[in-house]
């Protein structure tokens, strides 16, 4: 299932990050800000435990997060969202996945993988600005499940029906959170209207 975060603050920032005139510095800032909003919603159902805290006045019953959180950016563009979620949950650990598409099979191939041991039984948050075809996301979910992840959510800025359908078919238990569900993929597998190449725009490598 995919959920679009339609809060006015998110949609306002989305309008600016989409703009072709937005430079890489502002694009990075907006990616961080939007990620924080989306992750706030994506983590609303994580496991907590009741604790008692002594305030200056009296004892108070409170709740603290009761699961290991592991953030997994899909390289390279996912790194541009990492700061946003770590500002929200600074104790989260970080794993990384790097994938490329085999030109013959058209399937994702892993070239880098590194996960903390806390992934076993923990809550994993996959981050990538664009969930386009869904191939890399589905492959990453599979790797996290093989590593023993307790639960998995996907956080992206923009996605589309084709990517959502692929992930939902392969992993119906994984929720997707996004700031926008766009119209479609074009012939080059870019999301329309999308953001363009998020990695290039994040790191200033576009022409």
The alpha carbon of 110 is separated from its chain's Cα centroid by a whole number of angstroms, namely 18
Residues 9 and 13: their CA atoms lie apart, in Å, by 6
Catalytic residue, from 66, 68, 101, 133: name it.
Answer: 101
* Active site annotation includes 6: no
* Active site annotation includes 26: no
* Active site annotation includes 128: no
Catalytic residue, from 52, 55, 91, 105: name it.
Answer: 105
Catalytic residue, from 67, 76, 93, 197: name it.
Answer: 197
Residues 75 and 79: their CA atoms lie apart, in Å, by 6
Yes or no: say if 145 and 152 are a contact pair by the CB < 8 Å rule. yes
Angle subtended by helix axes 135-146 and 161-170, to nearest 10? 20
* Active site annotation includes 101: yes
Catalytic residue, from 32, 200, 201, 205: name it.
Answer: 200
Which residues are marked as active site? Answer: 101, 105, 197, 200
């Amino acid at each position: 299932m995919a959920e679009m975060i339609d809060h006015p603050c998110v949609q306002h920032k989305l309008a600016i990050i989409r703009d072709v005139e937005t430079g890489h510095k502002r694009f990075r800032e907006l990616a961080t800000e939007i990620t924080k909003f989306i992750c706030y919603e994506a983590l609303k159902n994580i496991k907590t435990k009741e604790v008692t805290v002594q305030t200056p006045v009296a004892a108070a019953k409170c709740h603290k997060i009761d699961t290991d959180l592991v953030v997994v950016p899909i390289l390279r563009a996912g790194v541009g969202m990492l700061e946003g979620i770590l500002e929200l949950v600074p104790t989260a650990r970080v794993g990384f996945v790097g994938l490329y598409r085999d030109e013959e099979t058209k399937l994702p191939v892993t070239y880098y993988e590194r996960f903390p041991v806390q992934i076993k039984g923990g809550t994993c948050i996959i981050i990538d600005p664009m969930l386009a075809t869904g191939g890399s996301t589905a492959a990453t979910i599979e790797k996290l499940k093989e590593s023993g992840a307790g639960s998995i959510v996907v956080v992206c800025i923009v996605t589309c029906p084709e990517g959502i359908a692929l992930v939902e078919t392969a992993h119906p238990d994984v929720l997707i959170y996004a700031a926008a569900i766009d119209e479609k993929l074009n012939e080059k597998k870019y999301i329309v209207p999308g953001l363009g190449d998020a990695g290039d725009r994040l790191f200033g490598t576009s022409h």
